[in-house]
């Protein structure tokens, strides 16, 4: 009898735990704020950064390809540990840019004026010859005045297998921004997780807040940024831009003018020679020879001394 009661108690406890776990799992996976989640990649709606904030221009339909290219165009100055040459580095890889664009566009179609989209994305970068390092980047995005606002919370936050095991011992399920301890980025304060220097270009600027430029807050006119980036790529593929072609045309024009001038000089020098020869004296009048001589002097094809000498020769034939 006691054994039966004990087994019944165990069974009840098991059902209770199963019910609780099911409820937790259901609430977790049915989170209406989540736009998309896979592994450590997460996109969700957030309204917690709204203190004194102006309403966003949401919902809004955006061009996914345009946003992907604009995000791909973002560059920062990477400080080198050795050597003095700093090099530009992409903020987001092509694959990460496309992933961000896809779910930003999907989310902003549904977002309310008081909602931002917060995200975290995982990326891999070479560490040593045969090794790669996992990184996490997190932030928030919203649209205001037809421009994409991107506030970066943490940038390339390194994680490893030991770190993953500590926060996810079972190796199953997913994690959240809170679990990883990553920042979303905030309108009110600068993020210490992104101190890199952005290379600004057409359509891309840092936000000025409280009379200071925010390194972590980027304001992007996606169409201008995308068009500028594509033009730069095209220039690398075909170095001869319109300016280059115009310069080439000018150079060809100058070369033609030089050839014509040399031909004219040769013709007129021949006329001088003919004008001073006996053969030419019989064929041309004194006036014609003097006129030719004057033309040569006017065009600075002969010096004043040469002019005076030839003039004496012509006059001596009178």
The CA distance from 217 to 207, in Å, is 6
* pTM exceeds cut of 0.85: no
Sheet holding 197-198, edge to edge: 87-90, 75-78, 197-198
- Quote helix, strand, coil % in the chain, to nearest 5: 45, 25, 30
The CA distance from 182 to 163, in Å, is 13
Tens-place pLDDT, residues 101-132: 999 999 999 999 999 999 999 998 877 666 78
193: left (phi over 0), alpha (psi -120 to 50) or beta: alpha
pLDDT for position 234 = 85
pLDDT for position 24 = 39
Query: If DSSP states are collapsed to H, E and C, what string results for 28-66?
Result: HHCCCCEEEEECCEEEEEECCCCCCCCCCCCCCCCCHHH
- Tokens representing residue 64 in the block: 């996914």
**Three-state secondary-structure class, residue 116:** strand
pLDDT for position 101 = 98
- Which helix (H) or strand (E) is 4 found in, with range? helix 2-29
pLDDT digit string (tens) for the chain, length 318 residues: 544 544 445 545 544 544 444 433 334 444 789 999 998 899 999 998 877 788 999 999 999 999 999 999 999 987 665 555 567 889 999 999 999 999 999 999 999 999 999 999 999 887 766 678 889 999 999 999 999 999 999 999 988 765 555 555 554 444 555 556 788 899 988 888 888 888 989 999 999 988 889 999 999 999 999 999 999 888 888 766 666 777 888 888 888 777 877 777 777 777 667 655 654 444 457 778 788 878 888 877 788 888 888 888 877 766
């Amino acid at each position: 009898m006691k054994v039966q009661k004990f087994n019944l108690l165990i069974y009840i406890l098991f059902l209770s735990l199963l019910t609780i776990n099911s409820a937790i799992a259901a609430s977790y996976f049915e989170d209406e704020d989540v736009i998309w989640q896979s592994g450590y990649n997460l996109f969700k709606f957030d309204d917690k950064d709204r203190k004194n904030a102006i309403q966003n221009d949401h919902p809004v339909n955006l061009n996914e390809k345009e946003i992907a290219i604009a995000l791909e165009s973002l560059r920062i100055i990477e400080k080198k540990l050795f050597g003095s040459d700093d090099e530009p580095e992409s903020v987001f890889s092509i694959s990460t840019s496309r992933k961000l664009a896809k779910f930003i566009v999907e989310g902003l179609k549904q977002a309310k004026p008081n909602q931002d989209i917060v995200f975290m994305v995982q990326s891999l970068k070479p560490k040593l010859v045969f090794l790669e390092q996992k990184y996490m980047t997190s932030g928030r995005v919203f649209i205001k005045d037809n421009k994409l606002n991107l506030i970066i919370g943490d940038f390339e936050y390194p994680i490893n297998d030991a770190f993953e095991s500590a926060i996810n011992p079972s190796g199953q399920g997913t994690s959240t921004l809170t679990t990883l301890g990553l920042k979303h980025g905030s309108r009110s304060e600068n993020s210490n997780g992104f101190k890199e220097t952005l290379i600004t270009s057409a359509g891309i600027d840092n936000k000025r807040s409280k009379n200071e430029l925010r390194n972590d807050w980027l304001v992007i006119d996606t169409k201008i940024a995308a068009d500028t980036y594509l033009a730069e790529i095209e220039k690398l593929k075909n170095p001869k831009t319109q300016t280059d072609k115009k310069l080439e045309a000018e150079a060809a024009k100058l070369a033609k003018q030089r050839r014509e001038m040399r031909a004219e000089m040769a013709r007129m020098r021949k006329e001088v020679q003919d004008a001073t020869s006996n053969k030419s004296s019989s064929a041309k009048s004194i006036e014609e020879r003097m006129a030719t001589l004057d033309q040569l002097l006017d065009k600075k094809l002969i010096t004043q001394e040469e002019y005076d000498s030839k003039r004496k020769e012509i006059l001596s034939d009178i």
